[in-house]
Each structure stands twice: as C-alpha cells, then as structure tokens.
Structure 1
Amino acid sequence: MVDVMVKLSVRDLVRADLASCGWAGSERHLANVAAQLDRARIGEVDYLAVCAAADIPVAKGGIDYQVKEGVGTLWQLAVHPALQSCGIGTFLVEAAELRISGRGLLQAELGVEEDNPRARALYERLGYVAYDRQPDAWEEQAPDGSLRRRETMCTLMRKELA
C-alpha cells in the first residue's frame, strides 16, 4: 500500500466544468446544475468545485440560500466514485460551511437519503445533528434515456457554525 498526498483546492463551479462531471449524474442532472449556475450569478446559491492539481473537479456541491432564511442549505453534494472515502467529501463540506459563514450565517442544513448511511455517518462526524424527516422526489434519467420518478425519505440535519 502506498499513500499518495494530493493537494486540493475549492473554487466556484463553472459551465466549462460540466463536460468533465459526467461521474456526478445524468445529462439531465448536469442540465439542472447548469441552471443552478445561473442562480449562482445572482447570488441565490454558491456552487463549488473541489479540484486536484489539473483543476478538473473531483467533487461538487451547492449551497442554496433561498430554502430557509438565515440558513445555507447544502445540496447536490457528490464526490467522484473512485475517490470516495479519501477525505474529499469532508473538504467539500468544510469549504461550503466557510462560504455560509462568509455570508454571516450561523447555520448549515442538509437532507441525506435514509438509504445512504455512509453519507449520514460523514455528516454526523462533521457535527450535523438530525432534527426531522422529509420525503423527497425527482425525475431521473434511466440508462435507456427514459425518465423515472425517484422517491425517497431524507433525514434533515443541521449544524450550528462558529
């Protein structure tokens, strides 16, 4: 086993990044991310990219400031599947929390699908506490290109920021 150290940076996600983010979801998902970048231009959201030395995103995620007043809501968090469990998700969430704090807000929230215990464990390690449950649903693109409705239950979690 060899340990490799990789320097990570975080910056705003830009449209040009979407071509290299196929690992994050379907074409439909990436079209939604592109729409979120329009919202980022007017300050409603921040959309972050975590990059390694080549400046190609290996993780991405958004912070929505319109969901609940005074709160930054993290959503659409994803780490390249080949790089999960390497600390990149922690780096992404901590960068998002800095953005939220930078706006003078003291609380971060997120919803985690109940069938994703690894993500929930990460958020708990980072200080997020469950406070409610909520159903969620969206249309997703199947491999054959058809659309199907995905329904899930999410645990809502929050963290007080220093």
Structure 2
Amino acid sequence: MTAVVLELTVRDLTDADLVACGFAGSELHLTQVAKELDRARRGEVDYLAVCTKADLPVAIGGIDYVPHPGAGSLWQLAVHPALQSCGIGTALIGAAEQRIAARGLSRAELGVELSNPRARALYERLGYVAYEERLEAWDQQNPDGSIARYETRCAQMRKQLTSDRRPSDG
C-alpha cells in the first residue's frame, strides 16, 4: 500500500472558490455561502477553505461570532467526500479554533445532527462535549430543484479553548 501525502493550506474562502465547492452542497447552499462571505467582509464571521497545493478547496467551514457571546460557532463544515477520514476535517476545525482564540474568545460551539454519528465522534475526539439537543431547520434544495424545509434534531456541543484559571502568585 502506498501512502499519499497531500500538502494543504488553510486560508479565507473567496467568492472565486465557490465554483470548486460543489462537494459542500447544492446550488442553494452555495448561494447561502456567498451571502456568508459578505458577512465575513464585515467581520461577523470567518469562512475558511482547506486547499490543495493547486489552491483548490477540499474542505470549507464557517465560524459565526454572533450567536453565542464569548464563543465562535462552527457551522457549514464540509470535506470533499473522496477525502473524508484523511484528517482534513481535523485540520479545518483546528484552524477554526485558532481563529476563535485569536479574537480573544475562549469557547467553540457547534451543532451536529443526531443522524450523523461519524461527525459527532470526530467532534468528541477533538474535545467537544454535548450539552443539549435542539430541533434545527433550514431550507434545502431537492434533486428536482424544488426547495423544502428540512428539520432535524442536533446535539449542541462546545469546547473550552483556553483556561479561565489565572496563574497563582505562589
């Protein structure tokens, strides 16, 4: 068996990247991502791309700083299906956590569908702890192009990024 090593970089996602991000979702989803890039320009969110040496995104994900005071909320995380289980999601989450900490925030939050135990296992392995379940909903594009409301139960998870303890004067 031959190992393949991918050289990856993490950078901000750009509008020009969206044509290469079909792996992340439907046309409707990518239209929403484009709107989030407008929010990124205003500093409300960060939207990251994990890219190959050819500068093509193979994973993307956002960090929203608005919903939870003191935290960055990870959302819309996606890794190209052919490259899942190769550590790319871990790299994306690590870069997102660095962005959150760089803003002086001490916590990362995310929601994961209960029907996605593989993703939940990744988040737990990375130190995220579930603290409640919520019903979530969003518009989704069907294969025929129609739009439907999608509802699912999600585990809300969080991770403490920095210690709140102060060094002793000891």
TM-score normalised per structure 2: 0.94
- Partners of 1:6 and 1:80 lie apart in 2 by 13
**Deviation (angstroms), 1:159:** 0.2
> Which residue in the other structure is 1:20 paired with?
20
- Partners of 2:2 and 2:159 lie apart in 1 by 35
> Which residue in the other structure is 2:4 paired with?
4
AA aligned opposite 2:117: P
- Partners of 1:149 and 1:87 lie apart in 2 by 32
> Which residue in the other structure is 2:168 paired with?
none
Identity score, percent:
67
Q: What count of residue pairs does the alignment treat as equivalent?
A: 162
1:115-154 matches, within 5 Å, as: 115-154=115-154
- Partners of 2:66 and 2:49 lie apart in 1 by 20
1:9-158 matches, within 5 Å, as: 9-158=9-158
- Partners of 2:137 and 2:158 lie apart in 1 by 21
- Partners of 1:4 and 1:68 lie apart in 2 by 39
- Partners of 1:147 and 1:63 lie apart in 2 by 25
Report the secondary structure of 1:93's partner residue: helix
- Partners of 2:2 and 2:149 lie apart in 1 by 42
Report the secondary structure of 1:140's partner residue: strand
- Partners of 2:116 and 2:59 lie apart in 1 by 17
**Deviation (angstroms), 1:14:** 0.3
- Partners of 1:161 and 1:68 lie apart in 2 by 15
- Partners of 1:8 and 1:86 lie apart in 2 by 12
Report the secondary structure of 1:121's partner residue: helix
Instruction: Pick the structure with greater CA Rg.
Output: 2
Cα RMSD of the aligned pairs, angstroms, is 0.5
Q: Mind listing any 5+ residue stretches in structure 1 that lack a counterpart?
A: none
**Where does structure 1 differ by over 2 angstroms across 4 or more consecutive aligned residues?**
none
AA aligned opposite 1:88: I
**Deviation (angstroms), 1:68:** 1.1
- 1:12-44 Cα shifts (integer Å, max 9, x gaps): 000000000011100000000000000000100
- Partners of 2:123 and 2:112 lie apart in 1 by 9
